[in-house]
Amino acid sequence: MQTDITGRLLICCPDRPGIVAGVSQFLYTCGANILDASQHSTDPREGLFFMRMAFQLEKAAITREQLEKDFQEKVAGPLKMDWHIDYTDRRKQMAIMVSRYDHCLMELLLRWRSGELPVDIPLVISNHTELEQLTRDFGIPFHYLPVNPDNKGAQEQEAIRLIKAANADFIVLARYMQILSPAFVSVFPGRIINIHHSFLPAFAGANPYKNAYTRGVKLIGATAHYVTNDLDEGPIIDQDVARVSHKHAVSDLMMLGRDIERQVLTRAVVAHIEDRVIIHGNKTIVF
């Protein structure tokens, strides 16, 4: 029995009239049915156009290779597009890196097991052993790679080897408390998602909730972003905050903060899985 293919097309190109019409007409001639379309134009000085279009195509209508070849020749080339098509019949492979904190890992694993995250998780990598049994209880391979100043480079290379061997499409740092080197980041550009325990850029560091308490803040938050060589300054995918007051103790801030981290990281991961994020410089367009 033949099933239809659902594709997600992401586009960035110079803004001009006729882009939506050109893409829509091309998909129509291929026998595709457009399921969803979202677009954004920057201000005239920058003059860029971004679009996400989800479409359904009869499996027998045209091969993916031919569709993409024709799209490049007839539409993308003339309109100077940067573009990508992903297909939903192949589940993305999500690698996870984590240290000792379990709340983000648990959130991802529970949502994965319930079917809310349509991905496969081929491995979890950690520089500590505390979460090994938890990971294995979900039937997921766990790899312990302890890191110290003397072996950091070698352990990163081993992590890269494991991630590549698992054919992982992207990596989630679920509170992985190590700074990744430029050499590691360069292997997975735009494919590493980090959750930061702060509404960036405030209160970065090892004790954000204590620092926030000392400062007497009225808001705490969390930020999910793509990892770049600039520490905690990569393109932001999602953020959220919660109001707090002088009545909240440090333990209250930690509990509230971890709840926000779980929610923000989940939303960012879902947006990435659903191909709703376009990276543009140090910003993102999230449809």
Judge whether 52 and 38 are in contact, CB under 8 Å.
yes
Residue 47: how many CB atoms within 10 A of its CB? 12
Residue 214: how many CB atoms within 10 A of its CB? 11
Alpha helices in the chain (DSSP H): 19-29, 64-71, 103-113, 132-137, 152-165, 182-187, 208-215, 250-273
Residue 137 bears catalytic tag: no
The number of helix segments (H) and strand segments (E) in the chain equals 8, 14
Which residue bears the tokens 């905690």?
232
Report the distance separating Cα 119 and Cα 275, nearest Å.
13
Residue 237, token pair as written in the block: 């995918």
Report the distance separating Cα 99 and Cα 83, nearest Å.
35
Judge whether 117 and 91 are in contact, CB under 8 Å.
no
Judge whether 210 and 251 are in contact, CB under 8 Å.
no
Judge whether 273 and 118 are in contact, CB under 8 Å.
yes
Residue 48: how many CB atoms within 10 A of its CB? 15
Of 15, 102, 120, 232, the active-site residue reads 232
Amino acid, single-letter form, for residue 1: M
Nearest to 184 by CA among 217, 201, 162, 207: 162
- Which of the residues are catalytic? 232
